[in-house]
Structure 1
Amino acid sequence: MHDSTDIQNNKGMAIVAYILFFIPLIAAKDSKFAWYHANQGLTLLVTAVIVNVILGIIPFIGWILLPLANLAIFILAILGIVAAAQGQAKPLPLIGKYTLLK
């Protein structure tokens, strides 16, 4: 799927994608590997915003579930960072199948 030179040259950008997804879009715009992880990072960000808004407006139960949901989002980010550092283009569990960037 991705060539090994692209992966080796852009592992750092792929890792950054889970913190600031748009940086690889600017700094590594020719890298399919960095774009893949930027898409995963953007999908994670959108998921985090949606989950936080929905659980934030649901009284009591939502407020109790919110820290657990944020912990799950943090774990997904760590999984993405580890996959990027290992040179893998592995989709995140549950949300990795969605493509927001073409």
Structure 2
Amino acid sequence: MPSPHPDDVQANKWIAAASYLLFFLPLLAARDSRYAMYHANQGLLLLLTAIGANLVLGLIPLLGLLLLPVANLALLVLMLIGILNAINGLTKPLPLIGGATLLR
């Protein structure tokens, strides 16, 4: 993504940061902001990854019990990276999962 307009970043950085907790917030509050929508997309990718990881690892009897906390810790780290990127005005994709685009 090309670098966002500085006014867009300043006006929507907190909405963008909150999108990692509630990905749909920019859809309601900042639909016209490319910056907020970028982070909403990253938040949605993170949510879908979390649901998938928890479902898959929850179905594996013993190995899943060992890997589930590790996966959830990694997801928490990704969420913190995303929030820090949003607060700092960056549009860097999340490591490992941030390359896809679901929202435009």
Query: What TM-score comes out, normalization by structure 1 length?
Result: 0.98
Which 5+ residue runs of structure 2 have no aligned equivalent? none
Q: 2:38: which partner in 1?
A: 36
Work out the CA distance in 1 between the residues paired with 2:26 and 2:43. Answer: 10
Deviation at 1:100, TM superposition (A): 1.0
Deviation at 1:63, TM superposition (A): 1.1
Q: 2:29: which partner in 1?
A: 27
Task: Summarize the alignment of residues 70-89 of structure 1 with structure 2, pairs less than 5 Å apart.
Answer: 70-89=72-91
Give the root-mean-square deviation of aligned CA atoms.
0.5
Of 54, 57, 63, which residue of structure 1 is paired with 2:59? 57
Q: Name the count of aligned residue pairs.
A: 102
Work out the CA distance in 2 between the residues paired with 1:63 and 1:40. Answer: 27
Q: 2:100: which partner in 1?
A: 98
Query: What TM-score comes out, normalization by structure 2 length?
Result: 0.96
Which 5+ residue runs of structure 1 have no aligned equivalent? none
- Show structure 1 runs of 4+ deviating over 6 A: none
